[in-house]
Amino acid sequence: MGKSLIIVESPAKIKTLRKFLGPKYFFESSVGHIRDLPQKGLGIDVENDFEPTYVTMPDKKEVIKNIQEAAKKADIVYLAPDPDREGEAIAWHIASILPKGTKLKRTAFQSITKAAVQKSLENPRDIDMDLVNAQQARRLLDRIVGYKISPILTRKVKRGKSGTSAGRVQSVALKLVVDREKEIEAFLPVEYWTLETLLQPKDNPQSFSAFLYAVDGFKVEKEKGEKPCFLISDQKTADALVSRLKKAQYKVGEVDRKEKKRYPVPPFITSTLQQEASRHYGFSVSRTMSIAQGLYEGIDLGPDGSEGLITYMRTDAVNVAPEAIAAARQYIESTFGKDYLPDEPKIYASKKTAQEAHEAIRPTSLDRDPESIREYLTIDQYKIYLLIWRRFIASQMNPAIYDTVSADIETDQKMVLRATGSVIKFKGYLAAYEEKRDPSSTAEEDENGKILPPLVPNTPLDLKDLTSTQSFTKPPHRFTEASLVKELERLGIGRPSTYASIMNKIQNREYTTKEGQTLKPTELGKVICQMLEENFPRIMDVTFTAQMEDQLEQVADHNKNWKTLLADFWKDFFPLVEKAEKEASVPKVLTDLDCPTCGHKLQKIWSRNKYFYGCSNYPTCPFTAPIEAVDFKKEDYDPDFDWEQSCPNCQSPMVTRHGRFGPFLGCSKYPECKGIVNIPKKGEKVYNPADLPSCPALGCDGHLTARKSRFGKTFFSCSNYPDCDVIVNTLDQLEEKYNAHHQKTPYVKKKGFPRKGRGAKAAKEEPKPKKKAATKKKK
C-alpha cells in the first residue's frame, strides 16, 4: 500500500498527527482558506444566478503549489480541515485545486487523539455539499451586505481613510450595544428604603434578620408595578414605618421548610466557554478561542509527545460520546464516592439548530487531569483546561441539595416581615464546579450559609435592632463580550465560529470601546447604528437576522436551495441600497440650547468622528463650537484655579481650549507658543507653576509643568516640550533621573543645548555615505 496524504487546516496539528500515524502518512496544511471572493469588486454575478467568483488568496500560492506536488505522490488524499461548515468549505476549495484524477476523501477529527484520528480515517466520507452551500450562502450574504452598505457609510459619515463597515451580524450586535446604552441613558433612578429588623426568640439566644415584607396587606416593592404594592419611596415614609415597628409586638407566623435541588449545567459549548472564561478570568472572546485552539490542536506533554487535550472548540451541541460519559462516571465514583454518581448517565439536549454530529467541549482523556500536566501548560492554557475539565465532570454528577426555610414574622401593626435562610445539605456537583453569574443576572441571591434558629409558629420574638437603609434602583448593566455573545445566542444570531470575529470588528472599527470589561458605544457607533436603522431596517431587525440564520440551517439540512435564499434576499435589499445612495445622511440633532450669537437653537452636526454644535440659522449665522466647549462649566473645576493667569512661556494671555483629555488653558499665541496649563477638577491637587522647579537640562530656559496623560494621571514635563524631552511621573524622580549637578542631562533638540545624558534621545550620528545602488550588467 502506498502513502496517504492528509491535508489539515492548521500546521500546528501535524506534529501530533505524525506521532499517531507513523510513516505511512505524510501531511500538508492549507493554513486556513486558500480561495475567497476577490478583494476588489463584488465577486458575485447577480445576473447569472448569483454565481461566485473565487480567486486564489495572494499569500497562498506557495501553499497551493506544495499541496499539488504532495498530492501527485499520494495514492489517496484525506481532506481533514476542521469539523464545521467553514472546514467543509475549505475542503471543497482544496479539492478544486488538486490534480485531475486525484483520489480523495473527506475526514474530520472531533479530537486530536490516536483513537479518534484512526476511527475517522477508517470511516471517511464524501464532501457534504449541503454544508458547503450553507457556508457559501453565509459568505455571499455577508459580502453583499458589506460591499453595498459600507461605501455608503464611508461617504456619508466622511470618516477619511479609516473608513466604516457594515455586516449582517456585526451590525445587529452593534444595535444591541447601542440600544442597551439608550436604556441606561434614559433610566431614572427610583428611591426606595429597606427596613431590616434583628429579632430573637424568647427561649433562644440566637438572633436573626428579617426584612419588612408587607404593609397593610400590600407587598413591599422597590418600584411600582402592574399589581398593587406598598412603596417606601422617601425617608418620611420609612421613618413612619420605623415608629410603628418600634412599638410592635412580634411573633413567628407561617414557617415553610423545603428541600431545594440545584442541578448541574451541561458541558461547555463555544458560547458558554467564552462566558465562563470572561466571568472567571476576564478573558476576551478571541483570547479564549485562541487558547482553546491550542488545546485542541495538541500540547507537547514531554515523554508522551504531543496530544490534543480537548475536543473541537467551535460547537453548539452538548452531546457527549458514550465512552466519555462512562469514563466520567468511573472518575466520579472513584474520586467523590457513590453518593455523587447518578443512577443513570445524564443526557443533555442540544438546541434544534445545533450540529448534532459535534460533541460538547470536553477533555479528550480523563487520564490527564489538569494538575498532572500543569508543568506542560502555560498559565492561560491551564486555566481554560481546568474550567473545561471541572465543568465536564460536574455535568455527570448528582445535584446539590439545600435545606431552605422561609418564615413570616407577624406583628400587631398590620405589618409582616420575612426571614429566609438555607443550608447546603449535600454539595453534589458543586464539589467539582460552580458556574459564576453575570452582574446583570436576575436570579435570586443564594441564602446559603444564612442559618435561622428553630422557628415554631406563634413563638414570641424580641426586637433587638432596627435599621432603615436608603437605596436607588440601578440601570441595566452594559454588555460584556461574554454577555453579548450570550444574548446573540439567545436570539439565534451568529454561529460558534463567528462570535470572536464579531467582537473584534465592533471594537476595531471604533464602534464600541471597553470600559473595564463592558462595551460602550462610541459616538461613531451610535451614528452608524442610527443610519443603518433608518436606511436598512431589515438588516438591523433582530427577528429578520435570526430568520436568516434559520434559513441557512435549512440549506445545511438540504431543505432550501442556497441560491434561492440569495435571490430572495437581494430582491428586497437592492432597492434599499439604491435609495440610500441618494438619500442617506447623518441626521442633525436639534437641541434646546440657544446660539450665543443670534439666539436661534443650536443643533448637533456630525463631522468625521464626533458631533459639534452649529447654529440652526446657518448660513446666516456661522456659529460653531465643540460639544465640550458649550457644555463646559467652570463650577465643575477647582474654585481656586486662576483662570486669568498668563502663559508660563511667553506671559501672553491664556484662553480656554478643549482637547481629547478635557479642558486646558492654551497660549493665545498658539501655534507660535505652545504653552499650556491643565485645569484641575474639584478636589484634585493643584500645582502652581511658580512652585515647580526649573528644567534640569543644560541650556534650557524652561521649567517643569504639570500635564495629564490619556489615562488621567498627572506627570511633569518641560514647558519647552517637544523641543526638550525632560519628563518624570513624580517630582521625587527628578533628582534620581536627572542629576541636580547636570552630570547626566537629557538631549535637547534646540541649537546649543547639550546632546548627552541618561534616558535621553541618542545624539544624531554623522550621516553615513550612501552606498551606490548595484546595477545589473546587460547581457
Residue type, 294: G
Output the nine-digit C-alpha cell for 530.
Answer: 442610527
Q: Which pLDDT does position 711 carry in this prediction? A: 61
Q: Which pLDDT does position 753 carry in this prediction? A: 40
Q: Which pLDDT does position 209 carry in this prediction? A: 93
**Rounded distance, CA 595 to CA 598, Å?**
6
State the catalytic residue, choosing from 312, 331, 340, 385: 312
36-93 residue pLDDT tens: 999 888 999 999 999 999 999 989 999 999 999 999 999 999 999 988 889 999 999 9
Percent above pLDDT 90 for the chain: 52
Q: Which pLDDT does position 638 carry in this prediction? A: 78
Q: Which pLDDT does position 719 carry in this prediction? A: 80
Using alpha carbons, list the distances in angstroms from residue 301 to 16, 305, 377: 11, 5, 9
Mean pLDDT of the chain: 86
Residue type, 339: D
Q: How far is CA 193 from the centre of its chain?
A: 35
User: Please, are residues 86 and 135 in contact by the beta-carbon 8 Å criterion?
Assistant: yes
Which residues lie across from 198 on neighbouring strands? 209, 465
pTM of the entire predicted model: 0.78
**Run of H or E residues at 464:** strand 460-472
- Point out the residues of the chain with pLDDT beneath 50: 442-446, 740-779
CA dihedral 616, 618, 620, 621 (to 10 degrees): 70
518-542 residue pLDDT tens: 999 988 899 899 889 989 998 999 9
Q: How far is CA 231 from the centre of its chain?
A: 37
312 classed as catalytic:
yes
**Rounded distance, CA 624 to CA 230, Å?**
51
User: Please, are residues 404 and 422 in contact by the beta-carbon 8 Å criterion?
Assistant: yes
DSSP state string for 496-562:
TTTHHHHHHHHHHTTSEEEETTEEEE-HHHHHHHHHHHHH-TTTT-HHHHHHHHHHHHHHHTTSS-H
**Rounded distance, CA 701 to CA 759, Å?**
20
Output the nine-digit C-alpha cell for 461.
Answer: 420574638
Q: Which pLDDT does position 757 carry in this prediction? A: 37
**Rounded distance, CA 692 to CA 654, Å?**
19
DSSP state string for 4-17:
EEEEES-GGGHHHH
User: Please, are residues 528 and 174 in contact by the beta-carbon 8 Å criterion?
Assistant: yes
Tell me the three state secondary structure of residue 670.
Answer: coil
Tell me the three state secondary structure of residue 660.
Answer: coil
**Rounded distance, CA 146 to CA 728, Å?**
47
397-418 residue pLDDT tens: 999 999 999 999 999 999 999 9
**Rounded distance, CA 156 to CA 717, Å?**
41
Phi-psi domain of 274 (left: phi exceeds 0; alpha: psi -120 through 50; beta: other): alpha
Tell me the three state secondary structure of residue 403.
Answer: strand
Tell me the three state secondary structure of residue 486.
Answer: helix
First-to-last C-alpha distance (Å) of the chain: 52
